[in-house]
Amino acid sequence: MADASVAGPVRPSQHMHPGHTRSASAPPSVLEESGILLPANRFYNEESQRINDRIDEELRKESQRRKEAKRKEIKVMLLGQAESGKSTLQKQFQLYYASQTLDSEKPSWKPVVHFNIIKAVKTIVEELEWEFSRSPGSGSASADDPDFSEPIDVSEAEREDLFSIRSRVLPLIALQDALASELSGGVSISGGRTGVFVRAGWQGLLSTASRNWTSTKPQVVANMAAKALNETQEDISLLWRHPVVKRMITLRKIRLEESAPFFLDNIVRISEPDYIPNTGKLRSTWSRGPSMLMTITDDVLNVRLQTLGVIEHSFPINLGGMMYEWRLYDVGGARGQRHAWIPYFDDATAIIFLAPISAFDQYLEEDARVNRIDDSLQLFTAVCSNKLLKKAHLVLMLNKTDLLQAKLKAGIHVKKYITSYGQRSNKYEEVSSYFRAHFVQVHKRKDTSGRALYVHFTSMLVSSVYLIVIRMQSQTPHE
């Protein structure tokens, strides 16, 4: 008889609770050793490894893509004092490389163009009021003032004519501050500065408001200004063409913004109810050397407004047969904004510094004691000596040479405003070389990184975009 303690073959389920697994110390089965049956942990380890390998490969590819994109990305900072031409240069890039985006923004520029005209009209009226309040020999201004002059002779008929025009344009002028506030989104600047101040994306907000009548912020003042401008366009034209106003402008008793004559000359077209700002009228010309320049007549490019903070624009540009993504950063140039942006651009590819050398007879709006040429030199000194920006290529644009030539031709003497100019000739070649030498000297003294400085004389009326792109490609220093 078989021993009762000896049992026959037993199925594992007879001795093991379902779900129970063999202990780690148990020897592997024949199936496991032969590879027919893989242990669970080995299967999961191999699957986990495959997943990890795929993740690592994706990360490697993403890192490579980022490196490639970085190599093909050119970050360019546009620096300079307020009204140096930074935003105009940015718009030239936009017109040349992304004109479709500028076209879509046209409606948003209409009230800004209107504001520029209203501001010019107000300036003329205020200067007329000041001039008429003085009498010959009154000594209302100091003889030490380089712009001091006696009141001009005005006939009684001319005086009455101008006062009549003034009374008719006053309702339009009264809209200036409210329109500036509406366009600036309620932003105001301390120190008594006036004008339109904009942040990134302002065009989209205004375009949306102009298309959407149910907008929570309709352009009420902008619509009122457009209507008032249409009703007073004949008076504005009479004021602008009046002989007394022309004499005062010639004698520099009226100082308008640089683009004001362009808009005032086009007041009939701009005041039409269906007016939309134009863009894209380019006329190609060739200058000495390989650079093609573009003469521009354009409403949008002539607009003047002031940037707050940093506004970024991207453009695909072909350099040497390879496409690069240019990122232009238009940095607000007012004194209170200048130091906040530096830490964010230590990886900038290039700095384009704009210095308006036509401003030798102008002073800062923020501080009437500071000559604008001196202010540009101070800001350029700060840029050259800043260690965070030392890796960036440095391009200096001595800008607004067309306005400089016009002022010199009109008999305005540099030595009256910049005493160090001495008895040098008041010819354009001598004046421009003098300013260039001062900026180059700042670079030599303050830039310790050894980088080259690329210097160009540029004009408001001529696009410098092609010239800059060629410069970035060739990298030929000025010295």
Binding site for GTP: residue ranges? Answer: 83-88, 301-307, 399-402
- 8 Å CB contact between 447 and 267: no
Residue type, 8: G
DSSP-assigned letters across all residues of 266-280: THHHHTSTT------
Question: Which of 163, 134, 162 lies closest to 150 in space, CA to CA?
Answer: 134
DSSP lists the bridge partners of residue 355 as 398
Q: List, as own/partner pairs, every contact residues 435-443 make where C-beta atoms lie below 8 angstroms and the sequence separation is at least 24, other chains included.
A: 435/355, 435/357, 435/360, 435/373, 435/398, 436/398, 438/377, 439/355, 439/377, 439/380, 439/396, 439/398, 440/478, 442/377, 442/380, 442/381, 442/384, 443/380, 443/384, 443/394, 443/396
The edge-to-edge listing of strands for the beta sheet with 73-79 is 310-319, 322-331, 73-79, 350-356, 393-399, 453-457
What token pair was written down for 342?
A: 């530096």
Binding residues for Mg(2+), by number, are 87, 307
DSSP lists the bridge partners of residue 462 as 295
Cα-based angle 120, 91, 394 (whole degrees, multiple of 5): 110
Rounded distance between C-alpha atoms, residue 22 and residue 31, angstroms: 14
Rounded distance between C-alpha atoms, residue 365 and residue 384, angstroms: 24
DSSP-assigned letters across all residues of 208-255: HHHH-TT-SS--HHHHHHHHHHHHHHHHHHHHHH-HHHHHHHHTTSS-
Binding residues, by number, are 83-88, 301-307, 399-402
Running DSSP on this structure, what letter comes out for residue 363? B
